[in-house]
Amino acid sequence: MPKRTCLKKSWRRAAIGAVTLALLATPGFVAAAPELNERPMVKRAEEVTALKNAFVKSVLERAGLPYEADETGFPVRVQYQQTWKCIQKIEVVPLTDPIAGEGGVNGHRIFFFTEDDIFQIDSPLPIRK
């Protein structure tokens, strides 16, 4: 085997060895990589939850319904038809105009799920201002 070919093979082997060694020597960075993507997603989820809670509170205030909220702003109890209802889940659904196309949101329908009932409020308020 000529000397030149032997040098090419040895450089190639050295490069493969260096890359392999570098990958084995950095397990902390590889393990932290999923956390780098997770933090922005958690932050965005918190922002969306805060936006939804603020929107639901403004709808309840506009409708004149008394409510109690927890420390995150989530309405946990609402007075509806002279009784206090414990809220288990809230769903916000956009009301769209089929003629207006994609951007035709006219308002929102908010569903409040309690232990024994589901009630709704239609609101023309926008979620984002």
Q: How do residues 10-21 score in pLDDT, each as one tens digit?
A: 777 777 777 776
Per residue in 36-80, pLDDT tens?
677 888 899 999 999 999 999 999 999 999 999 998 889 999 998
Task: Provide the domain count of the chain.
Answer: 1
Residue 116: inside a domain, yes or no? yes
Residue 129: inside a domain, yes or no? no
pLDDT (average), residues 99-126? 86
Neighbours of 12 (CB within 10 A): 10
With CA atoms as reference, report the closest residue to 58 among 95, 108, 98, 11.
Answer: 108
Run of H or E residues at 40: helix 27-63
Residue 105: inside a domain, yes or no? yes
Residue 128: inside a domain, yes or no? no
pLDDT of residue 28: 59
- Give me the domain span that covers residue 86: 3-123
- The overall pTM is greater than 0.75: no
Q: Which residue has the higher pLDDT, 74 or 34?
A: 74
Residue 30: inside a domain, yes or no? yes
Residue 41: inside a domain, yes or no? yes
Neighbours of 88 (CB within 10 A): 11
pLDDT of residue 3: 54
